[in-house]
Amino acid sequence: MQSWISEKYRSVVEISEQSLESALNELEEIVRELESGRLSLDESLELFERGVRLVRICSSKIEGAERRIESLTGAIPEDLLE
């Protein structure tokens, strides 16, 4: 399915190259679009799938940062454990 969604959002490869902040901003935009009720079921599913990929990328980036902090300090700060 070729839709405006496919054209608007970057490819999966480009998702992994996004900064954490950029990915989070895009996730917020996806949530707004999904909550708007303007999308077809297929468009909603396409955006939802992209959102899931973004969440996984964000989680991976955060886990990587935690590992770096742990390797530098020997412990993960408690505020990151919440």
Q: What is the pLDDT along the chain (82 residues), one digit of tens a residue?
A: 335 455 556 565 577 788 999 989 999 999 999 999 999 999 999 999 999 999 999 999 999 998 888 888 877 667 766 6
pTM of the full predicted structure? 0.73
Tell me the domain boundaries of the chain: 17-80
User: What is the secondary structure of 3-64 as a DSSP string?
Assistant: -HHHHHSPPHHHHHHS-HHHHHHHHHHHHHHHHHT-S-HHHHHHHHHHHHHHHHHHHHHHHH
